[in-house]
Amino acid sequence: MVFESGKRFNRRRLVAGTALSAAALSAKSSSTFAAASLLKQSSDITLELWSGVAPENGPQAVVDAFREIHPEVSVNITRYVNDDTGNTQLDTALQAGQQIDLFFTYSVPRLGQRISAGAALDISSYIEGDAEINEWTTATDGIFTYEGKYYSLPTCSEPHYIFANKNHLDDAGITVPESGWTIDEFHEMSKQLSGDNAFGAFQPPDTARMTLGQDYWFKEGGTESNFDDPAFREWIQLHRDMVDEGSSFPWADVVTQDLQLFGQHGVFLTEQISLWPNASWVMGQVRNSEDNPRDFVTTFAPLPVPGGVENPWNPGGINNWLQVNSKTENPDMAWEFLRFFLTDGAQFMLQAGKIPAFMGDTTDEAILEGTLGPNRDELFDVDAYLKVIFDSNIRMATDSITTGTAEITQILRGLTDRCLLGEIEVDEWVQESKAQSDEAINRALA
Amino acid sequence: MATQETAASGVAPAVRSSQSAQRQVRKKNQRLGYLFVAPNFIGFAIFTLLPLVFAFAVSFAEWDVISGYDGIKWVGLKNFGTAFTDGNFWGSLRLTLYYAGLGVPLTTAVGLMIALALNGPIPGRSVLRLVFFIPFIANTVAIAAVWIMIYHPRYSPLNTTLRSLGIDDPPLWLASSQWAMPALIIMAVWAGAGYASIIYLAALQSLPADLYEAADIDGAGAFQKFRAITFPLLTPTTFFLLVTGFIGASQSFGIINLMTGGGPGRSTTVVSYYIYQNAFQFYRFGYAAAMAWLMFLLVLLLTLGLWIFQRRAVTYD
């Protein structure tokens, strides 16, 4: 079965044409990466790539496949950890002029920072000169541009959905929810699935994002924060209620074990929770039954729809933005590699749970094999997975405003922790989120 | 006269040549000396001195690192002015004083108690010394992992014990704005007391025995001997531990980064963590450098204060 995406491209034809030889390239005379320049540059080029994903989890396989087409090009991968320290390491290396030809950026604020600092190459002309990529960028929502120009392309798509313990649902007589189920039903189901030291859900999905979409933290064009919007109050109130009544995972545990982002799989796979909103990037751990043995099948459900919202946004997005360093000495080959990573190389990133942003003719089978692994029928409800991954209703937004976002992230984290620990009430959360974020925005704009 | 002259003129060149030989040797030795200190000095210059000078310069600028040196925007004393009006900076200073002001004296006191206990002829003394010292040399990440388990609100042995003792609602420790800092202090005491005890043990063993003999003859009890002899004679050691402990605690970062990330809320955001946040999360390197220098000045002042205090309080024999 072939995935029916909105856009189908015959990647293989183009890759065959571009990649097999310089002679083949010369036929694409209209292309920006003209054969002559490529031929001139192609003698023993070494590209340096900085990636947040460890080489063995996919990037090295992409590089090896690229080398088959371009044996004259070596690509060295440097792994950086996608946290504050790792990102600063990358930024320092970029500004110190260390050879980095390509690098990954994993958040829109950092994307904005790096582009505005001049660290990324404007790749618009490469895109314009490449019919297939050009068509894809035009047809795809949410590709980040800066002052109307492209400085990066997203290599994977990470929609959010719910991982669910099928055995828990079966025991409670609950059928796997279908598209269109509501946040109230999610709340009720979480209560039903809760018991002694068992919690229905890890947390509710980000209903504010689902309601408001792009740049939901901001209003007035980014000069003011938006936390007084009722959608935020509804979200934090629901989460607080669920923590208080024990239908979501105790926030004291989350804070103590630092589970806000990483490590949640342990809670799900040890059956402490039944419903877990997350995205495919956690699949590496979820499918690893050797390190995480379990006696249940994981099924999947689409995110529940917040009340009164007809066409909700998915809180996930296109991500893993690949950028070319503005100081690269090999811009053409760096673009060539970026293009390969985006297209034919994307299949090698499936094992890291990275579903290609550029689907091309990636088959369902390849996605299932890559993300769910060889024991998929034993560990997963495969049909449910296909439904959530290929849900045609999914709308994902990419933010464009990045003013003070690093600081606002910290403000929200602190206040949300305190609210969910019962130290402050929802009213104070709303007031303080708004006031402190406004201050952060003003500081950033000053 | 002529003989003398001859003798003088004969001696003088010999002296001169021996002096110049000495000078040459001295020069050679100097060169050798410089060569010996060079590796250390070059390391110090590159990794300490230059960053210090650079941080000082950057404290007068706005800089986000990624924009490169071209992106440095000189703003004069603005960063220092911002620090004085930044409530979060003052809040983090208070938390640093709380952490160091309570943690360091406690660590020193517990270290002293352990040292006094281990100074006597008790069985397994050397093994116990090692046991108490292990936390000091253990890896911070491992320590953090163990203590996160100890402080787990639901499953920890600590809270299970407290519940079995009748405390129905034990602290949430790291998940409580009130208890997170005490939790970190308890851990710091545990990690640092072994070191303090080793230093105290060394000091205890060098105390003059004749004073104790005289006290015994006068019929002094154990507590009296401690109060009148041991404690006063240990004051230089206590002073050393307090000063170095305070400087160390005011720079505490690793364990806070690993265990609380400055939270919940801002309850454990000490100055060093706030500096880190501003530099590495908010990319305000200039402001972070300014706060680092302010912190340095404050620690210097406090150390000077302790130094002046020790002139009166510390007994050197």
Q: Model confidence over A7-58: pLDDT tens digits?
A: 333 333 333 333 333 333 333 333 334 444 444 445 589 999 999 999 998 9
Verify cis geometry, omega within 30 degrees of 0, for the bond prior to B264: yes
ipTM: 0.83
A206: left (phi over 0), alpha (psi -120 to 50) or beta: beta
Nearest to B264 among A92, A197, A417 (CB): A417
Name the minimum distance, in Å, from the CA of A430 to any CA of chain B. 15
How are beta strands A45-51 and A102-105 bridged, if at all? parallel
Domain locations in chain B as residue ranges: 14-74, 87-313
Which one of A196, A251, A253, A255 would you mutate to disrupt binding with B, by most B Cβ within 10 Å of its Cβ?
A: A255
Count helices and strands in chain B by DSSP H and E runs = 15, 2
pLDDT at B212: 87
CA-CA distance, A217 to A238, in Å (whole number)?
18
Which residues are A51's β-sheet partners?
A79
Looking at A380-425, list the stretches that DSSP marks H as alpha helix, in order from N- to C-terminal side.
Answer: 382-389, 405-420
Contact assignment for A95 to B65 by CB distance below 8 Å:
yes
Give the other-Cβ count within 10 Å of A26's Cβ: 14
Looking at B86-123, list the stretches that DSSP marks H as alpha helix, in order from N- to C-terminal side.
Answer: 87-119
pLDDT at B53: 94
pLDDT at B316: 66
Nearest to B65 among A92, A118, A250 (CB): A92
Nearest to A85 among B176, B280, B283 (CB): B280
Enumerate the residues of chain B whose CB falls inside 8 A of the CB of residue A410.
277, 281
Per-residue pLDDT of chain B (317 residues), as tens digits, is 444 444 445 556 666 677 888 888 888 888 898 999 999 999 999 999 999 999 999 999 998 887 778 888 899 999 999 999 999 999 999 999 999 999 999 999 999 999 998 888 888 888 888 888 888 888 889 999 999 999 998 888 899 999 999 888 899 999 999 999 999 999 999 999 999 999 999 999 888 888 888 888 988 888 888 888 889 889 889 999 999 999 999 989 989 999 998 989 999 999 999 999 998 888 889 999 999 999 999 999 988 888 888 777 776 65
Contact B111, B197 (CB under 8 A): yes
Main-chain phi, psi angles of B87, to 5 degrees: -60, -35
Nearest to B261 among A119, A251, A258 (CB): A258
Nearest to A253 among B153, B264, B280 (CB): B153
Closest C-alpha among A169, A149, A119, A135 to residue A5: A135
- In one-letter notation, the amino acid at residue A176 is V
- How many residues can be counted in chain B? 317
Name the minimum distance, in Å, from the CA of A125 to any CA of chain B. 24
Contact assignment for B154 to A413 by CB distance below 8 Å:
no
Residues of chain A with pLDDT under 70: 1-43
Which residues are B74's β-sheet partners?
B61
Enumerate the residues of chain B whose CB falls inside 8 A of the CB of residue A91.
65-66
Name the minimum distance, in Å, from the CA of B144 to any CA of chain A. 11
- pTM of the prediction? 0.84
Q: What share of chain A is helix, strand, coil (3-state, %, to 5)?
A: 45, 15, 35
Structure tokens at A239: 């989460």
- The DSSP string of A19-47 is HS-HHHHHT-TTSSS-HHHHHHH-SSEEE
Is B78 in the A-facing interface, judged by CB distances under 8 Å?
Answer: no
CA-CA distance, B277 to B89, in Å (whole number)?
11
Contact assignment for B280 to A84 by CB distance below 8 Å:
yes
pLDDT at A43: 59
Is B154 in the A-facing interface, judged by CB distances under 8 Å?
Answer: yes
Nearest to B177 among A88, A410, A418 (CB): A418
Contact assignment for B281 to A94 by CB distance below 8 Å:
no
CA-CA distance, B86 to B287, in Å (whole number)?
11
- In one-letter notation, the amino acid at residue B267 is S
CATH architecture of B87-313: Orthogonal Bundle (1.10)
Count helices and strands in chain A by DSSP H and E runs = 21, 14
Closest C-alpha among A167, A198, A144 to residue A381: A167
CA-CA distance, A247 to A360, in Å (whole number)?
41
Tens digit of each residue's pLDDT (9 = 90 or more) over B37-80: 999 999 999 999 999 999 999 999 998 887 778 888 899 999 99
- The DSSP string of A111-130 is HHHHHHTT-B---HHHHHT-
CA-CA distance, B275 to B290, in Å (whole number)?
9
Contact assignment for B174 to A255 by CB distance below 8 Å:
yes
Name the minimum distance, in Å, from the CA of B108 to any CA of chain A. 28
Name the minimum distance, in Å, from the CA of A41 to any CA of chain B. 28
Contact assignment for A252 to B172 by CB distance below 8 Å:
yes
Tens digit of each residue's pLDDT (9 = 90 or more) over A311-347: 999 998 899 999 999 999 999 999 999 999 999 999 9
